[in-house]
Amino acid sequence: MDHERHGEAFEGDIKLTVVGERLRAGEPAPAFWLDTLDAGDPMPHSVSLADGAGRVRLLHVVNSLDTPVCHVGAHRFEQMAATLPPNVDVYTVSMDLPFAQLRWRTTEGVSHGALSGHRSEDFGRVYGVLLREWRLLERSVFVIDGGGRLTHVEYVPDQMAEPNYDAAITAARSAAT
């Protein structure tokens, strides 16, 4: 049976059920397999946690790139990514189809990666961000060091609020040294 956290996430008066246990900084990052599609690729391909071993990963998790706050957040991390060391990879993660993510990235001029959990709810469950009522992901940020350990974890309860960008960028810089 899935662990459920009732009312921890919300949008206005809508209380949402979050599926999965909360993660904490210092814990090993759970394995994941998500899809991505880059310009020129004929089909999406899978990206795993193990694929980035030795590199720092900043995962900016959003409901959907087609929502205003998620749109703003992805652009903000795009701007801030330019200030990060070269061994830091920034990804925006959502349940959007990889084709929609690529279209959005191309239209918006966003170059950092996008990862899609559209095939399965596994990422949402193991990272504790699956919103049961919406089958979308709770706004959150995870920084994973080169050894696969979480160095920063932020769950954003209010789905209309932005994450703490500065804390995430500081954690990514620290993990990169």
SS3 106: helix
Query: CA 176 → CA 56, 60, 63, 102, distances in Å?
Result: 6, 17, 27, 27
145 is catalytic: no
CA angle 98, 101, 107 (to 5 degrees): 140
Q: Do the strands 14-19 and 113-116 form a parallel or antiparallel pair, or are they unpaired? A: unpaired
Per-residue pLDDT tens over the stretch 62-78: 999 988 888 899 999 99
- How is the chain split into domains, by residue range? 28-37+45-176
Determine contact, residues 123/138, Cβ cutoff 8 Å: no
Share of the chain above pLDDT 70, in %: 99
**Crossing angle of helices 68-81/98-108, nearest 10°?**
60
CA angle 99, 164, 49 (to 5 degrees): 45
Q: Which is catalytic among the residues 23, 29, 37, 70?
A: 70
Mean of pLDDT values over 10-21 = 97
Tokens 């990963």 belong to which residue? 57
Mean of pLDDT values over 108-133 = 96
Determine contact, residues 60/93, Cβ cutoff 8 Å: yes
Residue 1: pLDDT over 70: no
- Cα distance between residue 58 and residue 131, in whole Å: 21
Q: Which fold has domain 28-37+45-176?
A: Glutaredoxin (3.40.30)
